[in-house]
Each structure stands twice: as structure tokens, then as C-alpha cells.
Structure 1
């Protein structure tokens, strides 16, 4: 375990102990050694001080996953500057909120995002990579780098992580250096990371998964990071890096699976060998994905459905589900060898859990968030009088200590009869019934029965011989019939009151990073309900339209 108490201290240890080892790189590039990384961090730290920034100030970044992101953040953190990242999909209005709430003194960005930052209307100093603004940063004469980073204290605010805003405006979660040092200890106690490990950074740097699990933890323990600026290049990056550790959200695992299945469909002989569990073919698939040197992989944001988990288990990819929050870090996960499908594992080291009478999980640890930026009232609401953080998530726990997430407390459906139901559980039952069913929204709040808006996966539709354009799939008879069957099968796994009575197929795909889905794949339910209010009303109409269906195969 690390002996460092701050991120700069951990960083300095690697610069000293393994100066010629590659620390960080971009896809297709040679990268920087720890010695080179350290020199760049010193230059940038001095340059930021030269611009007038000091310990306690805040810096924002709006960058793709590239080496420069790590350089400027690490340089700032060595000064004691608090850093945070803005999602690249953010609108000017969202950027205005983040810059104002955070009190950012400076933004580092790329030219492609400059217009949106300016349109936010916030008067903030902006450094643009392509304009050479970061390259031009130079320490003033007499800048004492070591004295500067040694002045950073464990309880200084290291970073902000803004919540996804699925149930309200985003909140700026403040974390100290101590928090992430201790979170990293918790993670490596169950999922080891050493200087011999390699990983790929491709998830949004604004999210806990990339910032906490990947960037900080690998920096603290010396793992090599390859930055992938475009998720579309993930496959390329995986084959190039052959990562030993990997983290993804369910949508990424799903796309990887679909890509393999498309290749297998084009090669009947290989498909037959794959179905027969031929070791050579399974190994070839693993290598094709870049997973042939993988030690462990994690999946977060939502539990993997059984079909996807079975696929990766079949090809020998060691995967486990985890659960965490911006406010608390990664709090549950089972060791790879002890993973239990359908659960998010057991409590991670350093956390205490208890369930409230209504099933809400309460968490306590000495490395929970410091609070929400500029929101003392919301911070106070988050904790009870004994220091337990209210997660807002409903869980169950079995006799072996494995936790299963039911849903967010604020997102539970409460029907007209007062029955509480989990929309995520309902949606999972239907999606598990067919790969054709994409993200969907179950609804029934204040109503006598549940309905759903359902999207379909264009790539899967092709497997059934449907050649229509993606935007026309919603009215294809074959697609409608398959979705009806999936809903009927899903209903069979649910109690009568939970079952979906009517549904519509939506003619669009709800992709991560869009106005209706967060970058990590969580539905923005309030936004969806507002956007599709008319469709929802039509699902409850006494005389429904022709595009309203019932699961047993006849139109409502």
C-alpha cells in the first residue's frame, strides 16, 4: 500500500523510483516516461502560479481523453488547485452553471469547445491547447516546485465531481487528497494495480469511473495509462495496449459483444467452434478484443444482464459488477473469483453499510465526500446525525453479504394504489428477454397500470433480416412482433402489478451523452417523461392509436 498522503507525494515517488518507465501515452504514440511527465508537471505548475493561481483556486478542463488533460490537472494539483472536468457534450447553459458554481478561475480546453464556453457568458480565463497556451506556460525565476507541492495538505480539496443530474441539478462533490488516497487503497486491496499494469482511459474524465478508479488510482500505484480521445477508437486502443485492467459501463460491454457476434455470423465454421467452446477460438476472440492479457475487469453504472455476463465469462474475460457514487467512490464489488451474477458484490474495504427501514443503503467511511460545493443545505441533507450518508438507492442484501441494487429511491414508481415498484427492475426483465430491446422507460406513477417506451438496437435487428433504416425500425412488423414477445417474456418474470400493459416503440436510439441519457448510460427519467409526455398520454388513452401495442401480440 502507498505511504503517500497526497497525490503530488505519490506522483513524486514514481518519478524518483521509475523515471525511465512509460507513465502515460496517447493511442498510437510513444508517451512520456515518469521523468518526462514530472518535468512537464513542474513546468505547468510553475506556469499556473505565474498566471496568478494559488492553492485553493479552482481550474476547469473541457478536453478529450488526451495526455494534456493529465498534464494540466496534475500540474494544477501540485499547486493545490482544485480541478474538475466538464462533460464534452455539455451545452452553454450547463457550462455556465458549472463554471459559476465551481468558481473556476481558469479553463483549459480544445478549440472545438471554445465557442460553447464563450456562449456560456462566463468571464473566465481560457487556455486553448491548439493555440499553444499550455505549451507557453513557464515558471517564473525562483519558483520552488518541491516546496509548492509539499505545501499541499491531505485535507485540501483535490477535485470536484459533478453528479449526473438524473434527479435534479448537478451537485459539485468535493473530495480531498486524503479521500482518493484512501479510496485507492480500498480498490487495490481487492483489484491489484502495480507499475506492471496497463489500462485505457476512454470514459468521460468528468466521471468517477475515469477520474477515480482509473486516473488517480493508477497514478498512485504507478499503472501505465493510455489515453483514447474518441470512444470509437476503443477497439484500436485495446488491441494496441493489451490492457491488464479495464473498466466499462454495460453499454460498452454490449457493443463489444455485438461486434464479436457480427464477425461470427460471417464465418459459420468459427461460429460452430465458438458455440462448441473450442479453446482456440475462444482465445482468438479474446485476443481480437485485446483482452488476452487482462487480469481483471469491472462493470459499473448498472448491473450487466445475464446474457452479456455469460458471453464474457464464456470467452474467459474476468468481470465483476460494482456500485459506487460520486459522493463515496467505489463502495461495493466482489473479487473476480467470488462474483455473484445479478449482485454488485460485497462492501469494499473501509466502508460500513446499513439498510434503512425502507431499504435505502446508508454508508459511512472516513473518506466520503467533504460536501457539495456552495450547497451547505444539500450537504446537511445528505448525512444523518451519526455521519451515515444517505445514498438514495434501494438495496437488498443476502446472507453472504452480497448487495443487489433495486432502484433509486426518487425514481420508484408509486402507482395509484400506492404500490412501490422499481422501474429499473421492470426494464431489466424485458431487456434480459431480448437483445433487440435497447434502453427503455417504464412508467406508471399515479396510474393504475404500467406502460413503457422502448427503443430497439439496429445492429440486432439486422440479425433478424430487417434491413430498414434505424429510424424506421419502430414500425417494422418483424420488430414489433419480437418486441411484443420480449415484453411478454419480461412480464412473466414480474408480479402482476409490475407488468407492462401497453408500450410504444420509439423511433430514435437513446445513446449515452445525449440530452436524455447521461454519458455513462443512466436515463434522465424526468427529461424523458417531459419529452415524451404526449406518447405517455396516448399509452393511457381509452382508444389508443395504432402504434400502441400490448405484449401478447394484438394491438390495444
Structure 2
């Protein structure tokens, strides 16, 4: 195979890098994925693809797209959960010189149609018949759509149905079509890749946003090439790693994983089914797993709830071990920083009494925590939202380093990253080549090759966030420590100003609460233009039901447990703990425990599971007003 060239140290595109990886390590394992056995089929076997086998399939997908008339920068959409086929389709799109439009699998039919129409996508890869139907239900609004390719085989559509006159192929059909195309034009894919320019569009990711229609973020090939170069050069990843990938590939965080994996050449085990996470960790025993903070919160809450449910000695041992883990992680990081090293260097400098307690807690508790992750985990990159520092210190003290990073869709996810010298509560240092500064009002500004080239079809919105000097205005509030670590403190649009003129950053308060309350699912602090702060709290169903059972309460529903006076009193204890560390105007004077969690169906969560605060306030307006009715600040 004639390899497309790279430009200096950074590849021209991820497509260039992929073809180079296939040529460099053809026999090494590239991907691992489960083979479904169907209902009642028992444990699923996993299959592996080498880089050479992956390359063959990707070339066939790319050639199949070329045979359908797809050309440079044409948009091709993917609406699917995380699975091997998503990666094959994405790499095939890039190797055809086209651009991927990502669609969250949970996106409804109306918004799916909007994304396909706004992007002008010409082909849609759909996971199954259900995902295809979302698009085809609005067929009349999609004049550019010329074909649908399904990962799972689907029945041939009715002649009178919405897919009439629209080719619907299976992925296998497309690959066979591509193989035929390559027999006639053997160099078609290499020629398409060679024609790619750094500034050609590679990906359109539609930000779910907290208000209004999603915006298409234009990420060019150089954005992803930069991320690949950074992942390789930072030294965190090795060819011996096995990463477990479950994050949505439609999200910039999930897509970012592919860059480092291809650059370094290690194996990626792919399965986006959340209900399989525990079993997969035990079976795969990965060395890396990226996750959003909510995953670590849920695991910690589950561990704490289990210990407290058993009561007695088990509860006291867990609570003691959790305190020791936090103290140990804080001490190791502090001493490591003092001596110019990271937590590993700081471990040797932890005072002996604390080190001895940590060694005992390791045998009693931490070894079991590591086993939950498969026993080989050496790093868990996290981002998308701040992680409660107490939870981060717990896992890091237990031997599961949680490496916080910062980035947005508009920065191709990666902007700063924690490595060996990580400090819990910060998002690490900016990646080499990324400039970060803090504006006078506290807003985080950044520029570099990773920054988007604008919002699709929205020049005015682009001008609002990208200034003439290339600085991207993130909308996030933060600060840089004297030695260059980035700390996120909130969102400008979410900043609360009380009627007394005091500013409150809800994110800080919410993060503290999640760090102390093992039963919380979500918390939203309210108080803008009010005379004091209140909060809406939702509880993790499994954790709070376990607590209720431990108190001898059975036969009540989740909603009934949430409404109980004893549950309100329980949450109130944790509210009090948080309030004790806040200024008077920041404290939560009243709170409501809601009867249900926030969800996508009610519009309170985005497809990437971020809270839509305005919708939460609309959904629970009566509960909010009840907390303020006739009240005045004491």
C-alpha cells in the first residue's frame, strides 16, 4: 500500500494516520467487540480485529461511499450507539474524504431530522430499523439524503413507505459494493485520502446545548490530527494498553479516544451498553477507561450505600477507609507537588502513620475497589463536568487514578489534561500547543489547532465566541494556578446573583454536595434574583432504596421513599455539612427532594446527560415557588 504523506510531526488527518497505523502494525490487535448471542444465549464471546483486518473493512466502507458518489467534505451521518461498526463507518467516511455528522442514539425524530437537514447529510448510517425510522419519518425534509446504511439488517421497506425510492443497504451490502469498486479502481481510497487538506471539514458534532436548537460544531482534520499528536506525545498511553470504550462516539470525548488509540496503536474494546459495564470490566480487565464524573459518583455511592446497608463494623470500616483514602491522596499530591513530582513520587513522602493506615485500608477495602475495575486499571481520564474532589481523592487514594481534563466540543474535547502529576480538583495543564488565559471577568479563553472553525451555517453565533485574534470564549469560569493548573469554577450563564447583589457559583456548591452525599443523583441550586439559595435534589434510586431497606422499610415505591420525612431529614444532614463550609449568602436555606430523577423524556437532560437548568426550573416551578412563598432571608 502506498502511504499518504504526513506533514512534519503532525499527520495531515486521522485518515492519513489510520492508513499509516495499518501499515506499521498490521498484525497487532486493533479492536475487540462482543458477539451478541441473543436472548438467553449466555455470556457473549468477544472477537478481535487486527489493524490489517480493520484496514480492509474501512477501505471497503470508504470505497462503498465513493461508489455512491460521496466526495470531499460531503456529510455522512451516523446515528448509533457505541459499537465497532460506528468506528468502521467513521473511519470509512474520513478515508473517503468526507465528513462525519454525529447523531446521539437518544435523539428524537424531530431533532434527528433537523441535524440531517442542517448538515446536508447525503448518507445516513443507522444502527437499526428504529434509528433509520427516525430519519425516514421526515423524509420530505431531507432532499439531500440519498441512501441509508444500517448496521443491523432491516427488512426491505414497503413500496409505499417513507423510504420509497431511497436505497436502504446493510453495512455488509456497502462493503461488498466497496470491494467491487476497489477491483475497478484499486487506488480510489488512497487517492481520496491524499486529497485531504488539513482545513477540510472532518466532523460536524451538534452540541446538545441547554437551550434552543443544537449548533453544528465544524471540526476540521487538523483538530483531530492535533489531538492524536498530543495523545502520543504526552506519554500516558502505551502499546500494551487495553482501553474499554463505552462513551458515546457521537460526543467529542468519545471521538477523541480514537485519536490517541490510532496514534499509539493499542487495542480498544468497544461496547456502549451501560448495563454490561460491570461484567465487561471483570472480563476485559482493561488498563484504561475514560468516563464522565457521574460514573464515579454512582460507583462511589453504590459502595457507600452497600456498606451502610450492612451497618455495624462494615459501615465504620468503609467510612474510615474513605477518609484515609482522601487524606492519603491529598498528602501524596501535596508532597509530590512540593518536590516537583506527581502523586507517585509523593507516596514515598507521606507521613508513616498515614501510610500505615493506608496499607491496612488497602487490604480491607481498596483491593476490592480495584477489583471492580478489573484489577489492572492504571488511569481513568474524565471530563465533560467537574468531579467532586472528595470522590476523586477517594478513587485516587484507592489506587484508581482519576485524571481530570477539560475541553468542549468546540475544542475537539481536549484542551487540558491531568497526567502523572495530577492534582484532584484541577483539570491539569493545557496541552502543548493550546494557549489558555483567564479574561478579566474570569472567563476561560483558549486558542490553538484544536479549536473549531465555527458553527455550521451560523456566522453570527460563531462571531460571538471566536474573536478576530482566534481566541475562543468558552463561557466557563476558571482560574490558573501559579504553576499552570486549570481549575473550573462555573459557567457564566449559570452564575447566580441574589437579590442582595451577591454572586453565587452553583457548580461549586453542587460539587461539594455530591462529594458528601452518597445518595444523590442530581442537585440544582436555585437563587438567581431571589433573596436566598434553595436546591432541588434527586436521589439515586438504587442507593436510596438500599438505605430504606436497611431501615426496615419495604413495600414503598421510589417516589414514596423520596417523599418520606426521614428521607428529607437524611438529605438535610448533608445539606448542613455543605452549608458549614460556605459563606452565609451561599448557603442553601431550603431544599426539595423530588419524586423522580431528571431525564431525557422531560427535556431536563441533554443527550450527553448534562442538566438543562432552565427546563428543570420549568418542570419543577411549583416546588421552587413553594420554597420561596412567604419566605425572607434570616
TM-score with structure 1 setting the length? 0.91
Which deviations, in whole Å up to 9, do the C-alpha atoms of 1:315-366 show, x marking residues without a partner? Answer: 2112221111111132122323x22222222222111121111100111213
Aligned match of 1:142? 184
2:150 to 117, 128, 133: 128
Q: Report the secondary structure of 2:64's partner residue.
A: helix
Cα shift at 1:523: 1.0
Aligned match of 2:204? 160
Deviates more, 1:135-144 or 1:367-376: 135-144
Aligned match of 2:77? 60
Cα shift at 1:512: 7.3
Cα shift at 1:248: 0.7
Cα shift at 1:181: 1.2
Gaps of 5+ in 2: 1-7, 35-44, 154-168, 322-356
2:298 to 226, 233, 255: 255
Cα shift at 1:112: 2.8
Which deviations, in whole Å up to 9, do the C-alpha atoms of 1:440-488 show, x marking residues without a partner? Answer: 1111122212221111223332235254321222221221101112222
CA contact (8 A) 2:73 2:202 kept: no
Aligned match of 1:6? 13
Cα distance in 1 for partners of 2:375, 2:191 equals 44
CA contact (8 A) 2:301 2:519 kept: no
Cα distance in 2 for partners of 1:15, 1:435 equals 46
Cα shift at 1:75: 0.9
Cα shift at 1:272: 7.8
Deviates more, 1:249-258 or 1:29-38: 249-258
Q: How does 1:427-438 map to 2 (within 5 A)?
A: 427-438=510-521
Q: How does 1:216-235 map to 2 (within 5 A)?
A: 216-235=259-278
Query: For this pair of structures, how many residues does the alignment match?
Result: 544
Question: Is residue 533 of structure 1 aligned with residue 533 of structure 2?
Answer: no
Aligned match of 1:21? 28
Cα shift at 1:57: 0.5
Aligned match of 2:610? 522
Q: How does 1:200-219 map to 2 (within 5 A)?
A: 200-212=244-256, 214-219=257-262
Aligned match of 1:34? 51
Cα distance in 1 for partners of 2:317, 2:529 equals 51
CA contact (8 A) 1:413 1:445 kept: yes
Which deviations, in whole Å up to 9, do the C-alpha atoms of 1:84-103 show, x marking residues without a partner? Answer: 22111111121122112211
Cα distance in 2 for partners of 1:249, 1:514 equals 22
Q: Report the secondary structure of 1:489's partner residue.
A: helix
CA contact (8 A) 1:364 1:389 kept: yes
Decide whether aligned partners of structure 1 residues 447 and 286 sit closer, same or farther in structure 2, where only a CA change above 3 A counts: closer
1:91 to 96, 102, 108: 108
Deviates more, 1:472-481 or 1:415-424: 415-424
Aligned match of 1:492? 580
Decide whether aligned partners of structure 1 residues 65 and 393 sit closer, same or farther in structure 2, where only a CA change above 3 A counts: same
Q: Report the secondary structure of 1:372's partner residue.
A: coil
Q: Report the secondary structure of 2:445's partner residue.
A: strand
Cα shift at 1:369: 0.8
CA contact (8 A) 1:61 1:85 kept: yes
CA contact (8 A) 2:393 2:424 kept: no
Aligned match of 2:480? 397
Question: Is residue 447 of structure 1 aligned with residue 530 of structure 2?
Answer: yes
Gaps of 5+ in 1: 545-549
Cα distance in 1 for partners of 2:366, 2:503 equals 46
Cα distance in 1 for partners of 2:602, 2:253 equals 19
CA contact (8 A) 1:201 1:228 kept: yes
CA contact (8 A) 1:458 1:473 kept: no
CA contact (8 A) 1:187 1:330 kept: no
CA contact (8 A) 1:181 1:220 kept: no
Aligned match of 1:244? 287
Aligned match of 2:407? 324
Q: Report the secondary structure of 1:483's partner residue.
A: helix
Which deviations, in whole Å up to 9, do the C-alpha atoms of 1:141-185 show, x marking residues without a partner? Answer: 522222222222222111112212124432111111211111222
CA contact (8 A) 1:2 1:220 kept: no
Deviates more, 1:271-280 or 1:11-20: 271-280
1:44 to 61, 85, 93: 61
Aligned match of 2:227? 183
Which deviations, in whole Å up to 9, do the C-alpha atoms of 1:504-546 show, x marking residues without a partner? Answer: 11101225797212344321111111222222222221289xx
Deviates more, 1:19-28 or 1:284-293: 284-293
Cα distance in 1 for partners of 2:599, 2:225 equals 33
CA contact (8 A) 2:297 2:514 kept: no
Cα shift at 1:48: 0.9
Q: How does 1:294-313 map to 2 (within 5 A)?
A: 294-313=377-396
Deviates more, 1:433-442 or 1:479-488: 433-442
Q: Report the secondary structure of 2:605's partner residue.
A: coil
Q: Report the secondary structure of 2:65's partner residue.
A: helix
Deviates more, 1:427-436 or 1:54-63: 427-436
Cα shift at 1:270: 7.8
Q: How does 1:191-206 map to 2 (within 5 A)?
A: 191-206=235-250
TM-score with structure 2 setting the length? 0.80
CA RMSD, 1 decimal = 2.6
Aligned match of 2:428? 345
Cα shift at 1:62: 0.9
Cα distance in 1 for partners of 2:245, 2:129 equals 21
Decide whether aligned partners of structure 1 residues 39 and 281 sit closer, same or farther in structure 2, where only a CA change above 3 A counts: farther
Deviates more, 1:250-259 or 1:362-371: 250-259
